[in-house]
Amino acid sequence: MKKRSMLMLAALMLILSAFLAACSGGEKTGTSKNEDDGKTGETAGKPQDGGTLVYALDSAPEGKFNYSFYGNATDQYVIDFFDENLIDYDENLKAQPHIASWKTADNKVFDFEIKQGVKWHNGDELSVKDWEFALKVIADKDYDGPRFDNVRNILGAQGYHDGKAKEIAGIKVVDDYHIQITFDKARVNNLDNLWTYPMNRTEFKGLAVKDMMASEQVRTKPVGLGPFKVTKVIPGESVELERFDDYFGGKPHIEKVVIKVIDPSLSVGELKNGTLDMTSFHPSIIDQVKALDNVNAVTYPGVSYYYVGFRLGTWDGEKNIMNEPKYQEKKLREAMYYAINREEWVKAFFFGVGKPVNRPIPTNHWIAAPNEDLEQYKYDPEKAKALLDEAGYKDVDGDGFREDPNGKKFVVNFSHYATDNPTFESRAKAMTQYWEAVGLKTKLTMTDVNLYYEMLDKADKSMEVFFGGWSTGSDPDPTPLWGSKAVWNYPRWVNADSDKLLDQALDISVVGTDNEKRKDLYVEWQKLFMQDLPALPIAELEETMAVSKRVQDVKFDVSGMNRPNEWWIKQ
């Protein structure tokens, strides 16, 4: 199975489908409407070679077709067809050897070996120097992608990033197939957090790091290690790929893949007509997909959740600073949580594939705190009103809406991302109605999804209250989203006790290799989060995928889909 992207913001994944389910790990295997083993198609008989697979996205990719630079799920879905992780993850999200294997005695120094003879699409043989190259690109001061946190803990990476060293001390290339990586200290998750995606040195030779993101090597002529190679990119519309016969994992059966952007309202018709083979879809159309005789409607465990966040501060380029006063009042945040009827909201917009979540960790993850240990914040509009009264938010001018404690007009400026999916605006409006029902005047702004996350990345002041989500993979560590120095900590929440608990859960001297000790610390962290409430966890969902019955041997579990070289088309 492929590693589920630990970066992907779940809200961005909703470009493809509103599948969100759990933040990470540990669910049951997926099921389809006809089977219960997470497989699609009739797998009897020998795989057949040939055919073209048509895969649909319901929003245009940004076009950053390189693992080191991409930032949303549409790009990731394209990249997964043509590039490869050096390590793999099983159905329990445990790291497994893939192209690379490793040894470590102390979780600080890792010795890696890569397979010989692995080919890039341009004919180059993969070397550990390609991996070293990628790590140095990401650590470069001019790198403008989001991956430095996956390199930062390598010994000397911060100094290299700051211009204090010409090399990264913790990276030692032994030969083309062996590399030693030393971290600044032993951590439980050093391997899971490490960036394990190489970049082809030949393709990027002579190109300044600052120019890479916009280059044709990233945008229109990407080169990878995966089962298919890119032959044509029409930005914003489609990507065409052909079989890579020298793929190290075995020659793919399918000859060509066409990934195209379609209006989601057309997906059921295209599936029915056989002009579309695979697509994620929004739960609102699950009954329509299930009704198609030529399609399997697959649901399987997700690793993401939704939340409503508050702008509590700003990002100074290195860390978060909690200096915005408007939502610092905890009783205000609590009142807005009690005002939301999450049961009703999830039922209305996710059609049986979701449920409310009461923590920033999905229910089925192994580190999830028991519900009974947490504040539940069940729907209680009267309690919401009482909290607002206590905090001084009262209607002083008789217009039906509350002023702030100083008697000034108070408006909740709520932002939600926009795609072609019509349910997004409806569910956002429903959220505003809950708050207005307790006297909080609310203004909704729908923003194009790609611009939306750029604005959050930059801590744009207009993003005061916002709808978002998070998706991780094998590593349960919440630090990339909630650490005080995390760029994706969009509320800009800073809490020393939170940072201490998160650090301890990774510290070998504290937890050793005992997952129960680690879980205990994460449970305490979840309690702290729900007490401080920098964001309001809303829902977790299963993932949904439509797969034509002519496409065989596609398998799903919590780690994602199996590699597409194993798929085949029934002729």
Q: Is the pLDDT confidence value at 439 over 70?
A: yes
- Please state, in angstroms and as integers, the Cα–Cα distance from residue 41 to each residue in 34, 80, 207, following that order: 9, 21, 45
pLDDT at 43 (0 to 100): 47
pLDDT mean over 530-559: 93
- In one letter, which amino acid is 249? G
pLDDT at 32 (0 to 100): 31
pLDDT mean over 218-230: 98
pLDDT at 404 (0 to 100): 98
pLDDT at 474 (0 to 100): 65
Q: Is the pLDDT confidence value at 214 over 60?
A: yes
Q: Is the pLDDT confidence value at 37 over 80?
A: no
| Tokens standing for residue 279 | 């697509």
pLDDT at 354 (0 to 100): 87
| Tokens standing for residue 535 | 């964001």
Taking the CB of residue 517, how many other CB atoms lie within 10 A of it? Answer: 14
pLDDT at 3 (0 to 100): 39
pLDDT tens for 132-177 read: 999 999 999 999 988 998 999 999 999 999 999 999 999 999 999 9
Alpha helices in 291-329, H assignment, sequence order? none
Q: Is the pLDDT confidence value at 33 over 60?
A: no
Instruction: Give percent above pLDDT 90 in the chain.
Output: 75
pLDDT at 45 (0 to 100): 75
| Tokens standing for residue 503 | 């650090």
Which of 304-318, 443-457, 460-474 shows the lowest per-residue confidence on average (mean pLDDT)?
460-474
404 CA to centre of own chain: 36
Q: Is the pLDDT confidence value at 118 over 90?
A: yes
Q: Is the pLDDT confidence value at 552 over 90?
A: yes
pLDDT at 301 (0 to 100): 79
Q: How far apart are CA 454 and CA 262, in angstroms?
A: 24
Q: Among 142, 150, 148, 249, which residue's Cα sits nearest to residue 196?
A: 150
What pLDDT band is residue 294 in, cutting at 50, 70 and 90? very high
Q: How far apart are CA 151 and CA 13, in angstroms?
A: 24
Residue 514 makes CB contacts below 8 A (sequence gap 6+) with none
Instruction: Give percent above pLDDT 70 in the chain.
Output: 92
pLDDT tens for 226-256 read: 999 999 999 999 999 999 999 999 999 999 9
pLDDT mean over 309-318: 93
pLDDT mean over 203-229: 98
pLDDT tens for 491-539 read: 999 999 999 999 999 999 999 988 899 999 999 999 999 999 999 999 9
pLDDT at 20 (0 to 100): 28
Q: Is the pLDDT confidence value at 344 over 50?
A: yes
Q: Which residue has the higher pLDDT, 501 or 361?
A: 501
What pLDDT band is residue 487 in, cutting at 50, 70 and 90? confident
How high is the mean pLDDT of the chain? 90
370 CA to centre of own chain: 24
Inter-residue contact 463 to 491 (CB < 8 Å): no
pLDDT at 560 (0 to 100): 81
pLDDT mean over 315-341: 96
End-to-end CA distance of the chain, in Å?
A: 25
- In one letter, which amino acid is 76? Q
What pLDDT band is residue 472 in, cutting at 50, 70 and 90? low
Q: How far apart are CA 502 and CA 479, in angstroms?
A: 7
Q: Which residue has the higher pLDDT, 45 or 493?
A: 493
What 3-state DSSP class applies to 540?
Answer: strand
